[in-house]
A and B are shown apart, each in its own frame.
Chain A
Amino acid sequence: MAALRRYLPHVVLAAGAFVMLLPFYWMFLTSIRSPAEIFSVSLWPIPEKFAALDNYSRAASQVPMLRFMMNGVIVCFGILIVQVLTAVPAAYALAKLRFPGRKLLLTLVIAALTVPIQALALPLFVGLAKAQLLNTYFAMMMPFLLSVFAIFLFNQSFRSYPDEIIEAARMDGFSELEICFRLVLRGSLPSLAAFSVFSLVAHWNDLYWPMIVVTDTNLAPPPLGMLFFADVESGANYGALMAGATIITAPMVVCFLLARKHFIAGITMTGVK
């Protein structure tokens, strides 16, 4: 009975973890197996014949897999940089400066937090179509250039920065921009790290918006590229398909394993959103 009580939680957790991890295991296993073995349906971890090279090179040659990754990196970092550059000064002003319309802006920020991108997609799409901007990196980034969530988060975090230091820095001739980015933001580095993770993961994995504004394969970010690839392969070659899925999933999974604490902090912040 005592032994049961001691080991039961582990057994239950292990059974659950098996279900959670099975897709990853199956994905990776299939990606290194030869097509013949795929039909035998076995969970045995060591393939009879390693076909990793075949599968991965097929994934990379059928569709521009590396190009997708590049697009993802460009779009995600483009978004993140503009988000930080626009949200940090705004949050600093909201937290530490007095100006007309401050209350109104804060209300708008909080109201905008509840509006999902899917609600704005239609008018933004029409606007971008009219401006002939569909199928550009700009179109992919445009709705996300302002993160009201970042303003909200940094506003909370900047408020606790001591006013005396800001006053002293002003006396010393620091410009307001220097105070904002070099002093106050530096005091909120954990928030910045968590927000960066949140933003990068959200946009790396986003499908809805790229699916709307991108039809050109060469501009597709990873999730859209995966969708194109699944259509091209249409279930014929699972080895290559799973190799593609592995390539696309790997960056976030590896980052997660390396920086677990930041990742969990960043992703669970979506809950606050």
Chain B
Amino acid sequence: MARRGLFFVAPAVLLMLAIYIIPMLVLAVFSVTDYQLGAMSTSFVGLDNFRKAFSDPVFLRALWNTVLYAVIVIPAGVILALGVALLVYNRKRSRGFWEIAYFLPVTATLVAMATVFQFLLHPSLGPVNAAIKWFGFEPVGFLSNPSLLIPTMAIIGIWQVLGFNMVLFLAGLTAIPKDLHEAVRLDGAKNPIDRFLTVTLPMLGPTMMFVIVTTSISAFKVFETVAVLTKGRSGSEVLLFALYLEGFEYSNTGYAAALTLIFLAIVLVLSIGQTVHMDRKVHY
């Protein structure tokens, strides 16, 4: 019995060692050296890489931009999705259609769609600026004005995540017992807004928590839109793109390892919120 069990898990265990455990150890070792892929000699530098990161203006800008991106995407991506889910949930015949319309961006290849957005938002050829001009405003340089780069990418991020969150909220709404609404209505909550605040929102607590956590993790992983639209040029540096450049374009392996650990720490802090939630479920 024990032999059989070990035989069955052996491939998974070997791959676990090769893909997770050994690379993690190697990553930790890299992060305290000045290793560069292809360099002749490497030396131990202690925590210098981490110190360097927090005084590196490019990395700090990337961190700041990523936080800014997350601060736009998380509330908008969650609240809009909740609104759409509430509207879609009460549709009887047209529900399938709305689900498709809002979920379609989730399945689409983001790299290809980012190219489409580049064109949509084009200052002279895109319909968005054509509409803005038609209303009598100045055309907006969505992808040329450095201070608009992160908000523009955040809009694309919201567009992509909305349908995903909507489906999670729809699942949460389905789980709320129907008679609860009826009970509250009889108790005098005639107004739909009252019923939403006293029943729906508290009952959606666990789903809400879950949606916020997954949205923030995916916001911190923003990469494709930057890679396609700006190649990380000034104003659009983000965490993963900075990491990509240091590690794979400039071959500063040691430094990139330190940045990776910082990135991993952020993701882990966000995931712990998720695990704690999954373990004991948010109480109502």
- Residues of A at the B interface (CB closer than 8 Å) are 9-10, 12-13, 16-17, 19-24, 26-27, 30, 38-39, 41, 43, 85-87, 89-90, 92-94, 97-102, 105, 108-109, 112, 114-116, 118-127, 129, 142-143, 145-146, 148, 151, 176, 180, 201, 204-205, 207-208, 211-212, 222-224, 226-227, 230, 235, 238, 241-242, 244-246, 248-249, 252-253, 255-257, 260, 263-264, 267-268, 270-271
Contact = CB atoms under 8 A, between A and B. Distances in A.
A224 B109 CA distance: 11
A115 B109 contact: no
Nearest to B129: A41
A31 B16 CA distance: 44
B27 A123 contact: yes
Interface stretch (B55-63, B194-202, B221-229): B221-229
Given A207-B224, A249-B108, A89 B8 contact: yes
Given A26-B116, A99-B6, A122-B257, A205 B110 contact: yes
Nearest to B243: A118
A230 B115 contact: yes
B15 A145 contact: yes
Contact of A26 (B16, B27, B30, B120): B120
Contacts of A119: 27, 260, 263-264, 267
Given A86-B11, A93-B9, A146-B19, A268 B109 contact: no
A98 B9 CA distance: 11
Contacts, number: 266
Interface stretch (B43-51, B98-106, B145-153, B178-186): B98-106
A126 B117 CA distance: 34
Given A114-B268, A126-B253, A208-B244, A93 B8 contact: yes
A122 B12 contact: no
B219 to A, nearest CB: 13
A191 B197 CA distance: 35
Contacts of B159: 19-20, 23
B68 interface: no
Contacts of B100: 256-257, 260
| Size bin of chain B's contact surface | 35 or more
Contacts of B101: 17, 20-21
A207 B227 contact: yes
B94 A10 contact: yes
Nearest to A86: B11
Nearest to B84: A16
Contacts of B223: 118, 207-208
Where chain B touches its partner, the secondary structure class is helix
A39 B19 CA distance: 50
Given A86-B15, A97-B4, A268-B164, A13 B88 contact: yes
B98 A17 contact: yes
B71 interface: no
B248 A212 contact: yes
A168 B23 CA distance: 43
Given A9-B87, A20-B102, A26-B116, A176 B20 contact: no
Nearest to B80: A16
Nearest to B3: A99
Contact of A142 (B2, B19, B168): B19
A142 B18 CA distance: 9
A98 B5 CA distance: 6
24 contacts: A10-B94, A20-B162, A23-B113, A23-B117, A26-B119, A39-B125, A41-B126, A93-B4, A99-B2, A101-B6, A108-B21, A123-B24, A125-B248, A142-B19, A176-B8, A205-B109, A208-B244, A222-B111, A226-B111, A230-B115, A248-B112, A263-B103, A264-B103, A268-B171
Nearest to A5: B192
Contacts of A180: 8
A146 B16 CA distance: 7
Given A17-B102, A119-B263, A264-B167, A252 B107 contact: yes
Given A20-B104, A208-B240, A267-B164, A41 B127 contact: yes
Contacts of A92: 8
A93 B13 CA distance: 12
B275 interface: yes
A24 B110 contact: no
